[in-house]
Amino acid sequence: MEIVKGTSILRERNKRTLISHIRRLRETSRQELVKLMNVSKNTISLIVEELIKDGIVVERGGEEEQQKGRPRIRIALHPDGYRAIGINVTPFEIQYQIINYYGDVLEAQRVDTVGNQAEQIVDQVDRIVAQLIEKHHRLIGIGIAIPGIVDAQNLQVVTSISMQWSTVSFQKLARFAIPIHLQNSVNMGALDAMDRQLFMESEAAFYIRIGHGVGGAFTFKGQLIQGASFTAGEIGHLAIDPTKEKCSCGQIGCLEMLVKHQAIKQQLLAINESVIEQSEMIIFAQEQLENERVQQVMSQAGTNVGKALVSVIHLINPAYIVIDSSYNRSSAFVASCQAVMHAEAIPVTRKAATVLFDTTRSNLGKGAALFAIYHYEQAHELH
């Protein structure tokens, strides 16, 4: 009996690994999958036939000729196959998206909300999940992104400053038959960046997101490194300037206090410049980007972010650093950030890191849905 169970688990793991390869390659062949997975042709054939029968995989005509015989049949994921849901909770709204297994967004909606009303938001998310499960079939999981410290194992938000939450449980969602994943929203941004191939899954990478707050995420070989208390990557609470104000964490001059959107907006107002903030984006007019006093504000912000990233470079030696910020439109911000890293980081370590100033903000809802896909592929629940 144990042998049967073990064989069944191995088969399921192989199936999920095969689907993962198709997702990454977009299209492949049975022969290529045999080489990638190092299993027999018969194993691949049986899994592919099962997936075709279930409507998860489709065959496409022979697009490449073999040296001998008939054209090689290509296989791809069925457009109406597996799907995942991503929900992003913010202080102002709940955003949710449904993606197919390739990560293409099929549906996206927003619902207004009030961030500090924790119980009402949990109920709203619960209703959204129930409605989407009823509407969409072949769902393999739901990811929920929350700005704050999250206890993923117990579906609980430990604390969220931006939401004004402390010990908020999403445990009621565990009643649904499909897996529910609660995660920090910045981690989900990192997954979207990785999916957009801003960095390779095989490499160590650090992702920093600047918005209402400042957060970071560390990935290694495609895996999120979350730490013992789910707080790995908290770059926003690196103390940068001891002459500045006290942070809510108790330290003086944390990066978040210096460069979060509200801080930069206040610094700009002090020089009689105002900017629009929309969907966690600071919108600069072109003449503002060319304004010398605005450039000074953005240059200092770049210096502060650069100082924090020097510590990241020295501590984890990443191959990639992705900066997700609307400040990236400012050449003064980019230049100052690069200059500090160049001047203060150990050369051999700095040269190993490719720094990307992303011009497209990561989609946190999509990242949450991708987390559900990655979790499914890694088959954590199979024992």
49/91 same-domain check: no
Q: What is the CATH number for 11?
A: 1.10.10.10
169/33 same-domain check: no
56 located within any domain: yes
pLDDT in tens, 311-329: 999 999 999 999 999 999 9
- Model-level pTM? 0.90
Q: How much is the pLDDT for 116?
A: 81
101/168 same-domain check: yes
Q: Which two tokens stand for residue 132?
A: 């989407």
176/262 same-domain check: no
69/106 same-domain check: no
213/250 same-domain check: yes
Q: Which of 56, 77, 98 delimits the end of a domain?
A: 77
Candidates 74, 89, 88, 83; CA nearest to 104 is 83
pLDDT in tens, 192-242: 998 887 887 778 999 999 998 999 999 998 889 988 888 899 999 999 998
Q: How much is the pLDDT for 3?
A: 37
Q: How far apart are CA 26 and CA 195, in angstroms?
A: 13
Strand order in the sheet with 180-184: 105-112, 93-100, 83-89, 139-146, 180-184
269 located within any domain: yes
Strand order in the sheet with 320-324: 223-225, 214-220, 205-210, 320-324, 354-358
Sequence-ordered list of residues with C-beta below 8 angstroms from that of 1, at least 6 positions apart, any chain = none
Per-residue pLDDT of the chain (383 residues; tens, 9 = 90+): 233 355 788 889 999 999 999 999 999 999 999 999 999 999 999 999 999 999 999 998 765 555 555 567 899 999 889 999 999 999 889 999 999 999 999 999 999 988 789 999 999 999 999 999 999 989 999 999 999 999 999 999 999 988 999 999 999 999 999 999 999 999 999 999 988 878 877 789 999 999 989 999 999 988 899 888 888 999 999 999 988 888 888 889 999 999 999 999 999 999 999 998 887 889 999 999 999 999 999 999 999 999 999 999 999 999 999 999 999 999 999 999 999 999 999 999 999 999 999 989 999 999 999 999 999 998 765 65
Residues 113/117/120/125 CA torsion (nearest 10 deg): 60
204/315 same-domain check: yes
Q: How much is the pLDDT for 222?
A: 82
Distances (CA, A) of 316 to 310, 328, 344: 10, 23, 16
Report DSSP letters for 88-142, one per residue: EE-SSEEEEEEEETT--EEEEEEEE--TT-HHHHHHHHHHHHHHHHHH--SEEEE
CB 76 within 8 A of CB 23: no
Q: How much is the pLDDT for 45?
A: 94
Q: How far apart are CA 189 and CA 107, in angstroms?
A: 19
53/97 same-domain check: no
Q: How much is the pLDDT for 279?
A: 78
244/334 same-domain check: yes
Q: Which of 22, 55, 77 delimits the end of a domain?
A: 77
Q: How far apart are CA 163 and CA 116, in angstroms?
A: 5
383 located within any domain: no
374/349 same-domain check: no
For residue 200, count other CB atoms closer than 10 A to its CB: 13
Residue 66 sits in which domain range? 2-77
Q: What is the CATH number for 249?
A: 3.30.420.40
346/206 same-domain check: yes
Q: How many domains does the chain have?
A: 3
Q: How far apart are CA 155 and CA 180, in angstroms?
A: 8
Q: Which of 61, 77, 93 delimits the end of a domain?
A: 77
228/326 same-domain check: yes
